[in-house]
A and B are shown apart, each in its own frame.
Chain A
Amino acid sequence: MATTGILLVLFLYVHMAGNLKIFFGATPFDHYAHWLRTIGEPLLPQQWYLWIQRTVLTVAVIGHIAAATILARRARRARPVRYAHRPKVQGSYAARTMRWGGVIILLFVVYHILDLTTGTLNPVGSPGHPYANVVADFAPHRWYVTLFYALAVVAVGAHLRHGIFSAARTLGQRGARGEHVARVTALVLSIVLVAGFLSVPFAVITGLVN
C-alpha cells in the first residue's frame, strides 16, 4: 500500500502543479498540455513517455487496489460476526473511511479520464484545447459536476491525510516526535493538494479563469 501510494501521491502533486498553469492563461496551459506529449523527445518517440507514465500509474493503481482488497478481505475474515452496536470511531475518520473513500476516488478517476483525457464526457471535448475543456467543465450551470469534483478532491485529501501518515508508519517511522511530524506533514500535504486542485474550479466559477 505504502509504495504504490507514494507513487500516486507524487503523481498527484505533479498533476496539481500542472493544473495551476491554468492561472497563466490559455496559451501556456495548452502548451503545457501539449508538452506532456513530447517529454523524452527526441530520445523517445512522441507520447511514449506519457504512455510509460500511464502504465506505471495504472500498475500502481492496480497494486494499490489489490493490496487494499487483500487487506479488506483479511479484515472481513478476521471478524466474521459483526458488532450489533456499531463500534464508535476511536481513531480518525480519515482512517475509517479509507475504503469507501478509495472507491469514490476510483469512480471519480474513471469519470475524470473520460472527461478531460478522452473528452468523451466533456461538453467541449476538443483534444487540442484543454483550457477550453476545463472552463466548459466548471461552467456555473454544470454545478453538479463541480460539486462532484470538489467532493472527490476532498475525498482524496482525507485519503491522503491518513495514507501519508500510514505509509510513513508502514515504512518504519517509529518515534513519538516522528509520529507527530508525520501526522502534521500528512495534514499539510493533504490541505495543500486539496487547495491546489480546488483552486481551478473556484477560479472558473468566480471568473478568474474564463
Chain B
Amino acid sequence: MNLKLRVWRQHGPDESGRMVTYAVEGISPDASFLEMLDVLNEKLILDGEDPIAFDHDCREGICGMCGMMINGVAHGPERATTTCQLHMRHFADGDTIDVEPWRAAAFPVVKDLVVDRGAFDRIIQAGGYITAPTGAAPDAHATPVPKPDADAAFEAATCIGCGACVAACPNGSAMLFTAAKVGHLGLLPQGQPERGARVLNMVAAQDDAGFGGCTNAGECTTVCPKGIPLTLIGRLNSDYRKALRKS
C-alpha cells in the first residue's frame, strides 16, 4: 500500500507544532498502524531526518501506552481497538491519513505524538485504591462477592488508562476514566469503607488537573478500546451526590 501521512510534529513542550506530510510506500496490509510508523521512521533516520516520536510498549492492546488521533478518531476507525492493534488493511491504498497527539491541557505534548498523562496517575493517587497494607488481608474467602458485582467490577477495571476518552471528549473530560475506577472499587465489598471519600477526592483531583466537565456526550465510550460503559458515569454521579450529602 502507498499512503500519504500528515503527522503532527512538535519538537518540545513549549514549541509550536505543525502537520507535516510524508509519503509511505510499500506497506503490507497486515502491518499494524505502529509498524507502518516504524517503517516510516526507519526511512526518516536513513534520510537524516528526525523520526516521529510516539509512545508504545506492549503492542498487544493492554498497556495503554499507545494512542493517537487518526483521522479525527481516537485510536482510529476500528471500534474497541488500540492503535497498536489497528491494522493497515482497514485503510485503502492511496489514503491520506491525519495523525495527531491526544489534545488536552491536562495532557501536554512532550514531543510529536507523545503526551504526558501523569494527570491520570494523580487522579488515582487521590483515592483510586483500597487501603489494604500488605499482610493485613483476611482469607480471600472471608467475604463472598456476588458474581454480578464481581463481573461488573471487572468490566470497569479493564480500563487501560490510555486517555482516548479524554482525547475524544468534546469537553476534554476525564470522567469515564475516573468513573471506571470509582465503579471498580465501589462495586466490591472491600471498597465500601472508602467509597465516599474516594469519589469526592478523585473528582476534585480530576478538576484540579484541568480536565473539562462531563456533558454525557458519550464519545468516550465509543472510542474506548475496552468499551468501558457510560453507565459508570451515572454510578459516579450517584456516589458523588450521596457522599456530598454525608460530608
Contacts and interface: CB of A to CB of B under 8 A. Distances in A.
The answer on A and B forming one complex is yes
Interface of A: 1, 70-71, 74-75, 77-92, 95-96, 98, 162, 165-166, 168-176, 178-179
Contacts of A71: 171, 212-213, 215
Given A78-B211, A80-B105, A87 B231 contact: no
Given A1-B215, A75-B171, A91-B219, 17 more contacts: A74-B213, A75-B172, A78-B105, A78-B106, A84-B100, A85-B69, A87-B72, A87-B73, A90-B168, A90-B222, A95-B219, A96-B217, A166-B216, A170-B237, A174-B231, A176-B229, A178-B231
In the A-B complex, the 8 residue pairs with the closest CB atoms: A172-B238, A78-B172, A78-B212, A174-B234, A91-B218, A75-B171, A85-B98, A90-B222
Contacts of A70: 213
Interface residues on B, range: 35 or more
Given A174-B235, A179-B231, A91 B103 contact: no
Contact of B69 (A78, A87, A175): A87
A87 B222 CA distance: 13
Interface of B: 6, 8, 19, 69, 71-73, 98, 100, 103-106, 168, 170-173, 210-213, 215-219, 222-223, 229-235, 237-238, 241
A90 B212 contact: no
A42 to B, nearest CB: 40
Nearest to A179: B231
B119 to A, nearest CB: 11
A150 B234 CA distance: 33
Contacts of A96: 170, 217
Nearest to A98: B215
A171 B237 contact: yes
B170 A75 contact: yes
A19 to B, nearest CB: 30
Contacts of A165: 216
Nearest to B212: A78
